[in-house]
């Protein structure tokens, strides 16, 4: 790929602290394990919010 990329994991608490003050209501959190040849096994969280 040749690109330099920086990313970091965010905790559930950090995500809620960011989006809740913006008037977003948490509906559901999805957790899953993703496995790819390129990155191996990763844990993933997906957040579903609704704007109040």
Query: So where are the chain's domains?
Result: 12-51
Per-residue pLDDT, 6: 73
SS3 state of residue 7: coil
Provide the token pair at 15: 């995500």
Angular region, 25: left φ>0, alpha ψ -120 to 50, beta rest: beta
Instruction: Quick: pLDDT tens for 13-45.
Output: 999 999 999 999 999 999 999 999 988 999 999
Q: How far apart are CA 16 and CA 46, in angstroms?
A: 12
Per-residue pLDDT, 4: 78
- The backbone torsions φ and ψ at residue 30, rounded to the nearest 5 degrees and listed phi first, read -105, 135
């Amino acid at each position: 790929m040749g690109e330099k990329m920086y990313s970091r994991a965010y905790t559930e608490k950090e995500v809620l602290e960011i989006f809740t003050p913006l008037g977003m209501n948490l509906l559901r959190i999805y957790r899953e394990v993703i496995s790819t040849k390129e990155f191996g096994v990763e844990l993933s969280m997906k957040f579903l919010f609704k704007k109040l």
